[in-house]
Amino acid sequence: MKIRPTGVIPPMTTPFRKDGELDLTLVAPQVDWLIEAGSHGLAAGGSTGEGHTLGHEEYRDLIAATVEAARSRVPVIAGIIVDSTRDAIRRGGLVRDMDVAALQVTPVHYLFKPDDEAMVSHFRRMADETGMPIIIYNVVPWSYLSPALLTRIMAEVPLVVGVKQSAGDLKLFADLMMMAPDKLIYSAVDALMYPSYTLGAHGSIAAILSAAPHASVALWDAVKAGDHPRALELHKKLLTLWNAIVSDNLPACARHAQTLQGLPRSFSRAPMPEASPAQQAAIAKALDGLRVPGSKRVEAAE
C-alpha cells in the first residue's frame, strides 16, 4: 500500500440533479470544501454517496471526477456496494488505474448471508483480481462480520488492509482494535467519534464528517492534542447534529447540512426522499450550535 490513509476521511455525498442524473460539475466544489476544512482524505461512492444506486459507468465517472478534483492533495478511497463477487471485481477494475488509495467494500447486502468460507473467498478473489488494497466496510446488519472473522480475513488476505467498523456497538470496535492492532481500523460509529479516537482508531469514515467537516477535524485534533474538555464539548455538539440527521434518508440529510454551509444544492436519487421540514429545522439548529473556526452557515435556497 503506497499510503496508509488516516484521520478524518469524509464519505462524500453524490451530487444528483432533480431528475436523478449525476451532476459531475458539483464534485469539485465539495472536494475543495472538505479539503479546506482540513479533511485528511476522501471517500466516494459509499453509502452516504448512494453508491448502491450507481451504474458502472456512473461509478467510474464519479471516482474519476473525485480523483481529478483532489489533485493528489489527499488520498481518495473508492466505495463498492454490490451483491456479487463478480460485480465487486468489475468495479474495482474500473478504478484500478486511477489514483485511488484503496477500495472500501461492503459484504454482500442481499438477504442470504454467505458462510465464513465464502466471505473469505469473496475478499480473496477481489484482492487477487484487482491487486488493490481493500478496506472492509462492516455495515450490513444481516451480513455483519465478527471481529474474529474480520481478523481472519485480514490475516489470510494481505491486501485487506483494514476495516471501517460501523453500527453502534463500541465493544465490537474495541475488540477489533485489540485483535488487529497492526491494521487500519476506522470508526463509522458516528455518535461516538470521541471514544473511538480515544480507543486508538486510526481514523474515521462516517456521514457525520461530511455533514460537519470543520468540527469533525477539530475533534480529531483535540483528541490528538490531549485536549479532552474541548473534545467532549465537540462530541456533544456533533451528537446533537447526528441525532438530527440519522434516519432512513441519511444521505439526503447530510446533503442538506452541506447546503446550509454553502455548497451548491443537489438532490438524492429516487426513491430516497429529501430532508423533511422538521429535519431541516433540526439540522439548522444543530449547525448553529456547532460553529467552529472556518465553518459557516447560510440560509437554504428555495
CA distance 67 to 100: 7
Please state the φ and ψ torsions of residue 73, each to the nearest 5 degrees: -70, -35
Q: Is 224 a catalytic residue?
A: no
Query: Exactly one of 164, 194, 197, 237 is catalytic; which is it?
Result: 164
φ/ψ (deg, to 5) at 252: -65, -40
The alpha carbon of residue 223 and the mean position of all alpha carbons in its chain are separated, in whole angstroms, by: 20
Active site residue 137: yes
Q: Which residue out of 59, 137, 194, 197 is catalytically annotated?
A: 137
Rounded distance between C-alpha atoms, residue 64 and residue 254, angstroms = 22
Burial of 105 (0-12, 13-18, 19+ CB in 10 A): buried
Nearest to 9 by CA among 58, 64, 82, 78: 78
Query: DSSP alpha helices (H): ranges in the chain?
Result: 27-36, 56-70, 85-95, 116-130, 147-156, 170-179, 193-198, 207-211, 213-224, 228-245, 250-260, 277-288
Question: 44 CB contacts (<8 Å, ≥6 apart)?
Answer: 11, 12, 14, 51, 62, 63, 66, 76, 77, 78, 79
The CA distance from 245 to 290, in Å, is: 14
Which residues are designated catalytic? 137, 164
